[in-house]
Amino acid sequence: MSDHSYQPTLSQLRAFVAIAECRHFGTAAARLGVSQPTLSQALASLETGLGVPLIERSTRRVLVTGAGERLLGQAKVSLDAVDGFVAAAAGVGDTLSGLLRIGLIPTVAPYVLPTLLPALRAEMPSLVPHVVEDQTARLLDALRAGTLDVAVLALPSDAPGLVEIPLYTEDFVLVVPDSHDLAGAEGLSPGVLDELPLLLLDEGHCLRDQTLDLCRSIDAHPSIAGDTRATSLSTVVQCVAGGLGVTLVPQSAVPVETGRGPLATATFAAPVPGRTIGLVYRSSSAHAEGYAQLAELISATAPGRDRAVD
């Protein structure tokens, strides 16, 4: 049983996080610049104080226990907060360097990364980005758990404890087969969706929810192709090329997705339906200024954006 008055030390938390990430005591000790006995003692003291086994040891491998997995994110958040505090006190809290774990939703990542990653290398060479592509709900969970530093997704996130920086707004474009009556049309009313067979991404994707919200807002009742299931926008668009229906895509995806088949686009009249993409991070982070700089870089390099966001 743990002592509720127990306060772990930073060295104990660092030992736990290093072992959990490296899955090897020798590698973790080298990363922290301590001996293996010192590392093992720090972990043992932490487990004793908490009354919870965090790491399962054997002669062949190192595993994180279930309790360890649940506590790992909070340990990382705690260390981030302390490191951020020290960095801010030293006057360098606004500088991003080292590992940056960045999450992106699937309808952003393929279109933003080709320009963002080279820009990061050029403008922030000391940054080491690790990219995670996933659906919005899982990215938000990872942010709260401390396994992601920032996420790029559609706003609003409606998630407490997070800060949102709007990056850009982009229009939705209707993608149709190139033989369709609406191919090349401009100034359409969104009400046209009421008459069309609409293909959507699978459940959990925010673009699906945004499309359905748009239909509800204009009281449109399109024929939803529920038997067609796709987890990528590329698959949905190829289904359009095959004559299975039509779909809405964000402007940033149009150059990539419509160049691989007999496809055409149609655009809407103002106010054009669309979405706002933003950068999201924990409000407890000490890197607010650094993330603001990152947001500026993403906004400046994002392709297909229609309107910058003040």
Q: How far is CA 193 from the centre of its chain?
A: 29
CATH number for 199: 3.40.190.10
Which tokens hold the place of 202?
């699978």
Tens digits of residue pLDDT in 217-251: 888 777 776 677 788 899 999 999 999 999 999 99
CB 211 within 8 A of CB 198: yes
Q: Is residue 2 in a domain? A: no
Quickly count: other Cβ atoms within 10 Å of residue 223's Cβ: 11
Reply yes or no on whether the pLDDT at 130 is more than 90.
yes
Q: Which domain holds residue 254?
A: 170-274
pLDDT-derived band of residue 83, with 50, 70 and 90 as boundaries? confident
pTM over 0.75, yes/no: no
3 falls within a domain: no
The answer to whether the CB of 103 falls within 8 A of the CB of 152 is: yes
Whole-number mean pLDDT of the chain? 87
Residue 4: predicted pLDDT: 67
d(CA 149, CA 132): 11
| 300 contacts 279 by C-beta, under 8 angstroms | no
Label the pairing between strands 274-282 and 223-224.
unpaired
Residue 4 domain flag: no
d(CA 86, CA 189): 54
What H or E segment, with its residue span, contains residue 6? none
Residue 185 lies in a domain: yes
Tell me which residue has tokens 């020798």: 26
pLDDT band at 195 (very low <50, low <70, confident <90, very high): confident
> Which of 24-33, 213-222, 230-239, 271-280 comes out lowest in average pLDDT?
213-222
Region 253-259: mean pLDDT is 90
- pLDDT at residue 113 in the model: 95
Q: Extract the tokens encoding 182.
A: 């609406």
Instruction: Using the predicted structure, report yes or no on whether residue 15 has a pLDDT greater than 80.
Output: yes
State the helix-helix crossing angle for 66-89 and 136-145, rounded to 10 degrees.
70
Same domain as 154, residue 281: yes
**For range 34-53, the mean pLDDT:** 92
Helix (H) or strand (E) holding 195: none
Last residue in a domain, options 89, 118, 144: 89
Give yes or no: residues 151 and 296 share one domain.
yes
CATH assignment of the domain containing 61: 1.10.10.10
Nearest to 153 by CA among 252, 273, 277: 277
Q: What is the percent of the chain with per-residue pLDDT over 90, rounded to a whole number?
A: 55
Domain count, the chain: 3
- The neighbouring-strand residues paired with 100 are 129
Packing angle, helices 25-32 and 10-22, rounded to 10: 130
Beta bridge partners of 101: 130
